[in-house]
Chain A
Amino acid sequence: MTAMLEVRDLEQKFPIGGGIIDRLRFDKGRLRIENKVVHAVNGVSFSIAKGEVMALVGESGCGKSTVAKTIARIYKPTSGEIRVDGQDIAALAPREMLPVRAKMQMIFQDPFASLNPRQKVRDIVAEPLLEQTMGRAAKSEVADLTLALLARVGLNAEHAGRYPHQFSGGQRQRIGIARALSVNPGLIIADEPVSALDVSIQAQILNLMMDLKDEFGLAYLFISHDLSVVHHIADRVGVMYLGFMVENAPRDTLFAAPRHPYTRALLSAAPSIEDKRGVAEIELTGEVPSALSLPSGCCFRTRCPFAWGRCATERPALQSVGDHHTVACHLIDEPQRDRT
């Protein structure tokens, strides 16, 4: 069976401009204009089966949102493959993306910025469908479908004629979900869909997303920084740091037996209302290095409590440590250096 989404060696680099004066550098007695590049995503690979929920977690600047936006082809990738239902879309022109968008839709983080304030809700929800059918769909059919979708996400016919500003954050996120569902996609990319919402509303939206997944057989790529949310919703979790995937494992494995020091630090740092039982605490010092100049070797070595000489010279590759569980860390080869 082909995977719903398969990403291989995805790289995304953004050149940053800035004035020519800022970029002038003396190099071996000559004046050069330096090209600065943000290494946002550095060779990420993973796949999502039909009906599977894959979560990407990590801190701000780790590239998780860039991965999502590149897969949705809001950005064009620098290199790598993105296969949606078997078809490589990495190099498609915007016009060629249209049929792909019927299989893949996106839900955004900020429900205040992601809906056009000048469109009525019914037009917002119908837009992807009209786009797909080149506007040839029968009006009454579109109207019926729109109302059915709104009803499915917990809104009613009365809401269809209103504008986005008349809704609360949670309701707006429901509108965004209805819009994504309108073309009946197999994959939904959700970039921090609940992080702007209050906790009681967050639970409502997560429940809705899980119900829709079962009903429509959806696969999700779920981007989040909140580990308790990820634990609730994901089947599989990828941990990102500085544009690299450092660990990728089934949910229960990742939360019960994380292997990468960064994953362990992330889990022990997350505040919890429960007593933390048996979580070996790894406290990180310092902050994430700049993506303008990546550290040599392992991306995490500048903050890793275990780092040694090899980590500065050799970049660890993802290697398998068990059932569908891959880790990029030299500790796997030299476990005696793990001092916890």
Chain B
Amino acid sequence: MTGTPLLSVRDLRTYFHTFSGVVKAVNGVSFDIGAGEVMGLVGESGGGKSVVGFSILGLIDPPGRIEGGAILLDGIDLVGATEDRLRDVRGCDISMVFQDPMTSLNPLHTVGRQMDEMLRLHTDLDAHARKRACIHMLESVGISRAAERLGAYPHQFSGGMRQRVVIAIALLAGPRLIIADEPTTALDVTIQSQILKLMRRQIAERGASMILITHDLAVVSEMADHITVLYCGKVVERGLTRDVIRRPAHPYTRGLIDSIPNPHDRQKRLRQIPGSVPDIRNLPTGCNFHERCPRAQTICATAEPELAPQRDGLHAACHFPLMEGEPA
């Protein structure tokens, strides 16, 4: 990465003010994405990964609020930007692919109209050119008879085809960053592999960057250049994909990887992380992970570890990071 990164998130804090307390869904998250990079944002439910994605696009509604931090696109802060400015950013600079292709398209409008909207808002093309662009885009995401399909409604497409349409819409205005929130979780494995290949190719051809939000470490390890692991709204580890997957420094990352059954190293019992994710309104003192951590010492319950450089260029927030190859 050279010069200014495309997107730089600094100490982002997004809180939800509910009747039962303040939910600190994202609590001091920082990362950078350079042009052409794919970053995987992983973690379990409640980790705050989707809220990071929504925060970047300014899609946090009350009772949620971005309490602090900065989201710098080309060095210009999006936090506190006007709605007009954000509308220019959405679709044009940054676009989003949502998890559920069943609900992210409007069932009352044809696919063509929903695609056209993107170009009408973000380009000066005339109707004819817009239609040509839509047909071309549908073809490039692998939908045959594209000209006819423009007149079809979302319910006339299968799940995999709908997700292709959603991706086509996301790519139409030529965004430089795509935020994909669990783009293949709702799809079958053979369709998933088609969609992932499609996304990888489209991103590489356009030189765009991507934030891939997922709970699936296997998907991330096949797609991402580097990985950021979230736990209870905080970054616990980040580094190059290969290093994070092969030799993580944080016990939580290690636990996640070990929880996946490994066909090459079949054991009678899976190594499991004990307990479950704590209630985010009522987090433990010190390190959020210490109650589930096999390495926890007294300091872990009192002092919160900072994200600090570790071996192999990894960053981890842990008082007792793992040595290379050491089990959790």
The number of residues on chain B lying at the interface, defined by a beta carbon within 8 Å of a beta carbon of chain A, is 42
CA of A274 to CA of B193 in the docked complex: distance in angstroms? 16
Asked whether any CB of chain A lies closer than 8 Å to the CB of B161, the reply is: yes
Asked whether any CB of chain A lies closer than 8 Å to the CB of B62, the reply is: no
Q: Which residues of A contact B217 (CB under 8 A)?
A: 199, 273
Classify chain A's interface size: 35 or more
The smallest beta-carbon distance between A239 and chain B, in angstroms, is 12
Asked whether any CB of chain B lies closer than 8 Å to the CB of A87, the reply is: no
Q: Which residues of A contact B245 (CB under 8 A)?
A: 273
Check A232 against B261 for contact (C-beta < 8 Å): yes
Which residues 31-56 of A have a CB within 8 angstroms of B?
Answer: none
Which residues 164-210 of B have a CB within 8 angstroms of A?
Answer: 188-194, 196-197
Contacts A168-B276, A273-B245: A225 and B188 contacting too (C-beta < 8 A)? yes
Q: Output the nearest chain A residue to B255 by Cβ-Cβ distance.
A: A200
Interface centre among A202, A265, A269, A270 (most CB of B within 10 A): A269
Check B268 against A210 for contact (C-beta < 8 Å): yes
The smallest beta-carbon distance between B142 and chain A, in angstroms, is 9
Check B218 against A273 for contact (C-beta < 8 Å): yes
Our pick among B161, B218, B266, B272 for the contact of A272 (Cβ within 8 Å) is B218
Asked whether any CB of chain A lies closer than 8 Å to the CB of B298, the reply is: no
Which residues 98-127 of B have a CB within 8 angstroms of A?
Answer: none
Our pick among B189, B197, B256, B263 for the contact of A59 (Cβ within 8 Å) is B189
Check B44 against A228 for contact (C-beta < 8 Å): no
Asked whether any CB of chain B lies closer than 8 Å to the CB of A163, the reply is: no
Q: Which residues of A contact B259 (CB under 8 A)?
A: 199-200, 202-203
CA of A288 to CA of B189 in the docked complex: distance in angstroms? 12
Check A283 against B193 for contact (C-beta < 8 Å): yes
CA of A187 to CA of B150 in the docked complex: distance in angstroms? 51
Our pick among B190, B215, B269, B271 for the contact of A284 (Cβ within 8 Å) is B190
Asked whether any CB of chain B lies closer than 8 Å to the CB of A120, the reply is: no
Query: For the complex, would chain A's binding face be called helix, strand, loop or mixed by DSSP majority?
Result: helix
Q: Which residues of B contact A207 (CB under 8 A)?
A: 269-270, 272
Asked whether any CB of chain B lies closer than 8 Å to the CB of A229, the reply is: yes
Asked whether any CB of chain A lies closer than 8 Å to the CB of B264, the reply is: yes
Check B260 against A228 for contact (C-beta < 8 Å): yes
Check A59 against B215 for contact (C-beta < 8 Å): no
Q: Output the nearest chain B residue to A285 by Cβ-Cβ distance.
A: B194
Asked whether any CB of chain B lies closer than 8 Å to the CB of A206, the reply is: yes
CA of A227 to CA of B189 in the docked complex: distance in angstroms? 10
The smallest beta-carbon distance between B163 and chain A, in angstroms, is 12
The smallest beta-carbon distance between A281 and chain B, in angstroms, is 9
CA of A170 to CA of B277 in the docked complex: distance in angstroms? 11
Could you list 17 further interchain pairs (A-B, Cβ under 8 angstroms) beyond the known A203-B259, A228-B218? A170-B276, A171-B276, A199-B259, A199-B260, A204-B272, A207-B270, A207-B272, A228-B260, A232-B270, A266-B190, A269-B190, A270-B189, A271-B193, A273-B217, A273-B260, A273-B262, A287-B191
Using a CB–CB distance below 8 Å, which chain B residues touch chain A?
A: 44-45, 158, 160-161, 188-194, 196-197, 215-219, 221-222, 245, 255-264, 266, 268-274, 276-277
Using a CB–CB distance below 8 Å, which chain A residues touch chain B?
A: 59-60, 168, 170-171, 198-204, 206-207, 210-211, 225, 227-229, 231-233, 255, 265-266, 268-274, 283-285, 287-288
